[in-house]
């Protein structure tokens, strides 16, 4: 593609001619530039890649987008905000794939991955081909491919949507993280439906304040146009039981559809009966009531189901198909996932890594057992330090016994993380620290009696542990299975 054609399509009002070249790809990482790439310089928090323009040129870049003039033999196009330009260039380069899909974006602190899986289950049940993108990767049909982030950079995103369209996907479903919104990763995406799950504390290392975090989430709703390019209305699906929704309602041009359990809403549920293998309830939609069983434990998952139901309903799926789709959702990796290795007590692996999700999941665990709840959890390094004492407090308050352990300490000292977690404790005794996660899981499973429940929280589907700069294979589900087996051997 000619550089001038790409620029004219991507950057409105672009007129200047800086020398014509043929662009065969786009790159934002000097280390990954291929011959023929347009290199986009980004001033990030760690690196200013304007300084790597020469490396990019040496690796084969044919032109450069930058936020300031650079001395280079290549054409240099100066823009105000190169991340925005990158999103627009990626959209144009991949021929605006999100205009050829029905696209649903899910934002919120907790429940994004779960809600995307629920929407996927409904669409799949309705015979619609889907592509799902988020924390667990990029899923099209049965193929699952890992992604670098929950919401990747615009280049990866637009490439993924292009692949979806080429594979006859008609419904794209994606998680939209607050980091992605602030850094404009989703700017080229044409959303038909935007969903808000909830807002509680997380990521304050990045956003600094809850207000700034909420402002980041608001961007998704503020950027929703009244109509899509095909002239159809867009929808903002809001949780009426979360007070942040009011601010999103104020800024959106999309039609607002509500869901919730405590306040009047378009989509709600009544007569909830919570069990370990799922929840039965009456789903209320604008079509009436539908008795159903959601095969996911926890009241919080009923919220996720309502959000998913609303998102599919506004896209024309009938309520009976929605209820059946929800009933058929497959196991969501690492989300309240039961590990069964012949033991008599429940062992659950869950991705709770925020104060609110840990509290919710422990409340659910408590409701499901008559014995003790034993929790194994930690807090990620190089992430929000201020959530650590709250998570630790929620763990000791919600469980009968807590074992604090490593959860991706990354560049931080595990001891410092445990100190952050426990320093405000006032004589709490029902906890211990075992930094090695394998030992911690083993201890929890070996100390459990047949009436107890073991919850291993924080890593869910993750198959790694990051300590320092090293990433090791580590899977809570495998570790729990091994611990159950050694427990059996000890007993025999």
Ligand X SMILES: Nc1ncnc2c1ncn2[C@@H]1O[C@H](COP(=O)(O)OP(=O)(O)OP(=O)(O)O)[C@@H](O)[C@H]1O
Ligand Y SMILES: N[C@H](CCC[C@H](N)C(=O)O)C(=O)O
Cite the annotated binding site by residue number: 30, 108-114, 149-151, 177, 185, 383, 407-410, 458, 462
Instruction: Rule CB under 6 A: choose which of 383, 393, 443, 461 binds ligand Y.
Output: 383
Of 78-86, 315-323, 367-375, 455-463: span binding ligand Y (CB under 6 A)? 455-463
Give the strand order in the sheet containing 25-27: 25-27, 37-40, 63-66, 76-78
Sign (positive or negative) of CA dihedral 182, 183, 188, 194: negative
At closest approach, how far in Å is the CB of 378 from ligand Y? 8
Of 17-25, 119-127, 150-158, 433-441: span binding Mg ion (CB under 5 A)? 150-158
Sign (positive or negative) of CA dihedral 123, 128, 129, 133: negative
Comparing every residue's Cβ against ligand Y, the nearest one is 380
Q: Which of residues 44-63 bind ligand UAG (CB under 6 A)?
A: 44-47, 49, 52
| CA neighbor of 90 nearest in space, from 200, 17, 165, 184 | 184
Vertex 32 angle, CA 9 and 1, to 5°:
25
Give the interface with ligand X as residue ranges (CB under 6 A). Answer: 108, 110-114, 135, 150, 175, 197-198, 300, 303-304, 335, 350-352, 356-357, 360-361, 460
Q: Is 335 a residue that touches ligand Y (CB under 6 A)?
A: no
Instruction: Rule CB under 6 A: choose which of 158, 458, 476, 477 binds ligand Y.
Output: 458
Which tokens hold the place of 417? Answer: 């993380």
Q: Is 158 a residue that touches ligand UAG (CB under 6 A)?
A: no
At closest approach, how far in Å is the CB of 363 from ligand Y? 20
Q: Is 158 a residue that touches Mg ion (CB under 5 A)?
A: no
- Which CB, 282 or 463, lies closer to ligand Y? 463
Of 93-101, 163-171, 411-419, 454-462: span binding ligand Y (CB under 6 A)? 454-462
Binding residues for ligand Y, rule: CB under 6 A, are 150, 353, 380, 383, 407-408, 458-459, 462
Binding residues for ligand UAG, rule: CB under 6 A, are: 28-31, 42, 44-47, 49, 52, 149-151, 153, 177, 179-180, 183, 206
């Amino acid at each position: 593609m000619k550089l001038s054609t790409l620029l004219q399509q991507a950057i409105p009002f672009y007129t200047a001619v800086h020398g014509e070249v043929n662009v065969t790809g786009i790159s934002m990482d000097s280390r990954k530039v291929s011959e023929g790439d347009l290199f986009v310089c980004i001033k990030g928090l760690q690196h200013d890649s304007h300084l790597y323009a020469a490396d990019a040129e040496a690796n084969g870049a044919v032109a450069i987008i930058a936020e300031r003039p650079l001395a280079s033999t290549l054409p240099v196009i100066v823009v105000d905000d190169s991340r925005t330009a990158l999103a627009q260039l990626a959209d144009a380069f991949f021929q605006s794939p999100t205009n050829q899909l029905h696209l649903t974006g899910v934002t919120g602190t907790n429940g994004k991955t779960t809600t995307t899986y629920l929407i996927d289950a409904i669409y799949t049940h309705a015979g619609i081909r889907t592509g799902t993108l988020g924390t667990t990767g990029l899923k099209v049909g049965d193929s699952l491919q890992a992604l670098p982030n929950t919401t990747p950079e615009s280049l990866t995103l637009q490439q993924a949507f292009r692949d979806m369209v080429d594979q006859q996907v008609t419904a794209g479903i994606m998680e939209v993280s607050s980091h992605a919104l602030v850094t404009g990763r989703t700017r080229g995406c044409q959303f038909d439906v935007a969903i808000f799950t909830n807002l509680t504390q997380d990521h304050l290392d990045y956003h600094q304040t809850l207000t700034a975090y909420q402002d980041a989430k608001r961007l998704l709703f503020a950027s929703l146009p009244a109509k899509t390019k095909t002239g159809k209305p867009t929808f903002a699906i809001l949780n009426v039981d979360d007070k942040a929704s009011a601010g999103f309602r104020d800024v959106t041009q999309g039609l607002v559809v509500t869901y919730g359990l405590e306040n009047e809403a378009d989509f709600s549920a009544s007569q909830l009966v919570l069990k370990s293998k799922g929840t039965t309830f009456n789903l209320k939609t604008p079509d009436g009531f539908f008795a159903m069983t959601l095969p996911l434990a926890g009241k919080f998952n009923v919220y996720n189901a309502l959000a998913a139901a609303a998102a599919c309903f506004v896209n024309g799926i009938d309520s009976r198909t929605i209820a059946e789709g929800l009933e058929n959702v497959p196991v969501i990796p690492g989300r309240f996932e039961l590990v069964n290795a012949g033991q008599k007590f429940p062992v659950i692996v869950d991705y709770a890594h925020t104060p609110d999700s840990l509290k919710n999941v422990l409340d659910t665990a408590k409701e499901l057992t008559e014995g003790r709840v034993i929790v194994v959890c930690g807090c990620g390094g190089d992430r929000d330090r201020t959530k650590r004492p709250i998570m630790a407090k929620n763990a000791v308050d919600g469980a009968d016994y807590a074992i604090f352990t490593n959860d991706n300490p990354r560049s931080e000292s595990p001891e410092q993380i445990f100190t952050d977690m426990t320093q405000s404790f006032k004589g709490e005794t029902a906890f211990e620290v075992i930094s090695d996660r394998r030992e911690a899981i083993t201890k929890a499973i070996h100390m459990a009696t047949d009436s107890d429940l073991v919850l291993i929280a924080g890593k869910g589907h993750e198959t790694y542990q990051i300590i320092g700069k090293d990433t090791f294979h580590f899977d809570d589900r495998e570790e729990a299975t091994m611990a159950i087996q050694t427990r059996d051997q000890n007993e025999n």
